[in-house]
Amino acid sequence: MNSPSRTLKSLAIVAILGTGLIHIVDARDSFSEAAYKGLLFVANGLGALVAALGIYRNQRGLGWVLGLLVAGGALLAYVASRTIGLPGLAAEPDAWFEPMGVASLVCEGLFVVLFAVAQTKRTAASQH
């Protein structure tokens, strides 16, 4: 089994930790909007930490797959919160370019792209 390059892993770790850190920092405000949203932000931060550790240790499921769930889930929830709203919360169409949100989207999007690159390399390596 071929593991992703050190550079790819390092970028993925930074991206997923960035996602988690942003959510942990923003969790306090999220609790004031809805308790479940605050809990999801804390869970995102903890999940990102576990995912980073898994990537570092070459544990594909614990690292890359959990990271994809954390980053992809946050990305989808961000879009939903701006378009259709979240349960019990109205949509926030004017908040697309909120700085913390944009920073989080960059981290999440980068992680998803890095996941795809790692998968492509893994698939190519297994075919040889």
Mean pLDDT of the chain: 94
Q: pTM of this prediction?
A: 0.91
Give the burial class of 82: count Cβ atoms within 10 A of its Cβ; 0-12 exposed, 13-18 middle, 19 or more buried. middle
pLDDT per residue over 7-31, tens digit each?
999 999 999 999 999 999 999 999 9
* Mean pLDDT computed over 65-93: 97
Residue 1 has pLDDT above 60, yes or no: no
Q: What is the pLDDT of residue 110?
A: 98
Residue type, 25: V
* Mean pLDDT computed over 63-80: 97
